[in-house]
């Protein structure tokens, strides 16, 4: 009987250990321990309240990782965070999150980060245009002249229209806050079910557009709306199309879209040093 109890206890312990290190059937990567010399505290970001809007890369319900980049950033630069993100969201979903943020937090935050766009590419959202153009008359040096005139397009049917809606809302309600766009990272193959299989980024979507086109639109949006852009697509170093980068992602065979805890650490470090060159809020 005593031997049986010991065997049973060992089985329970082994089972518990597996539940800790296993995640959705895949080995989980432990949180990276942040060394003291990695932290850049006592900067303009110390204690600031930061809202993160996004898709599965930011969603705390995403089970591809055990820790997220925004949690690392709390340790690295001392921010306080609130998260408004949902897996699968495109930029029209970000507009919903921006409204929710405002209704719940009003003016109590200091900065807003937006990380989205990869699902707009994957779901074949047309790029559209940021503006319509017409010929209008105006006064120039006391004379009436005719010139081209543009107006921003606000709609849910195009990528540009969606971005305009979000940025207009945030500029209207958070004029004194720092607003930062993050670009999507590179995409490799992922399969989540028989009807949710996503090719890597070297395949164009149904519109014949590559992910790069959506990245380019986000860079233009940064210029048009006068907000900083942190280009994770180019400076994070994450490149899941190569097997050498597999350690940073959830699963080499089924999910090279979502970074694991090591990948989120790398993202956080990249963002950390970009933020040191940016003010956290304005008066």
Task: Kindly indicate the confidence band of residue 28, based on its pLDDT and cuts at 50, 70 and 90.
Answer: confident
Q: Do 201 and 186 touch, CB atoms closer than 8 A?
A: yes
Please write the tens of the pLDDT for every residue from 77-87.
999 999 999 99
Would you state the pLDDT for residue 16? 32
For residues 84 and 103, what is the distance between their CA atoms, to the nearest angstrom? 12
Is 222 a member of any domain? yes
Residue 19 has pLDDT above 60, yes or no: no
Number of domain units in the chain: 1
Instruction: Look at residue 67 and tell me whether its pLDDT is greater than 70.
Output: yes
Residues 102, 119: Cα–Cα separation, whole Å: 24
Q: Has this prediction a pTM greater than 0.85?
A: yes
Q: Which two tokens stand for residue 194?
A: 């028989």
> For the chain, where are the E strands, in sequence order?
22-23, 26-27, 49-54, 80-85, 111-115, 131-140, 143-152, 178-182, 190-193, 196-198, 229-230, 249-251, 255-259
What's the burial of 62, exposed, middle or buried (CB within 10 Å: 0-12/13-18/19+)? middle
pLDDT at 23: 47
* pLDDT number for residue 283: 83
What is the mean predicted confidence (pLDDT) over 2-22?
A: 37
Q: Please report whether residue 78 resides in a domain.
A: yes
Q: How confident is the model at residue 17 (pLDDT cuts 50, 70, 90)?
A: very low
Does residue 11 lie in a domain region? no
The pLDDT tens digits of the residues spanning 191-210 come to 999 999 999 999 999 999 99
- Token pair 């309240």 is found at 49
- Joined together, the tokens standing for residue 64 give 């591809």
254 contact partners, CB below 8 Å, separation of at least 6: 26, 190, 191, 192
**92: CATH:** 3.40.50.1110
- Domain assignment present for residue 13? The answer is no
Cα separation, 243 vs 249, whole angstroms: 10
Q: Which residue reads 């709609």 in tokens? A: 155
Q: Is residue 205 part of a domain?
A: yes
Asked, for residue 9, whether it belongs to a domain, the answer is no
pLDDT at 3 over 80: no
Which residue range(s) make up the domain with 119? Answer: 31-275
Residue 115 lies in a domain: yes
pLDDT single digits (tens) 227-266: 999 999 999 999 999 999 999 999 999 999 999 999 999 9
Domain membership of residue 187 (yes or no) is: yes
């Amino acid at each position: 009987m005593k031997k049986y109890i010991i065997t049973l206890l060992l089985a329970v312990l082994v089972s518990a250990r597996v539940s800790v290190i296993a995640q959705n059937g895949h080995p989980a990567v432990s949180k990276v321990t942040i060394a003291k010399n990695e932290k850049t505290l006592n900067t303009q970001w110390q204690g600031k309240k930061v809202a993160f809007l996004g898709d599965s890369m930011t969603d705390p319900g995403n089970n591809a990782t055990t820790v997220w980049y925004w949690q690392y950033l709390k340790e690295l630069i001392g921010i306080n965070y609130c998260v408004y993100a949902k897996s699968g969201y495109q930029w029209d979903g970000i507009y919903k999150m921006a409204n929710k943020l405002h209704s719940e937090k009003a003016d109590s935050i200091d900065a807003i980060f937006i990380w989205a766009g990869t699902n707009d590419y994957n779901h074949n959202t047309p790029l559209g245009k940021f503006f319509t153009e017409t010929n209008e008359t105006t006064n120039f040096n006391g004379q009436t002249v005719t010139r081209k005139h543009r107006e921003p397009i606000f709609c849910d049917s195009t990528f540009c229209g969606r971005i305009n809606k979000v940025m207009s809302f945030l500029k209207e309600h958070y004029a004194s806050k720092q607003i930062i766009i993050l670009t999507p990272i590179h995409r490799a193959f992922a399969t989540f079910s028989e009807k949710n299989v996503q090719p890597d980024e070297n395949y164009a979507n149904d519109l014949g557009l590559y992910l790069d086109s959506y990245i380019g639109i986000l860079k233009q949006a940064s210029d048009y709306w006068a907000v900083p852009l942190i280009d994770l697509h180019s400076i994070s170093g994450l490149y899941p199309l190569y097997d050498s980068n597999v350690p940073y992602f959830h699963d080499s065979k089924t999910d090279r879209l979502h970074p694991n805890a090591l990948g989120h650490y790398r993202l956080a470090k990249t963002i950390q040093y970009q933020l040191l060159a940016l003010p956290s809020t304005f008066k």
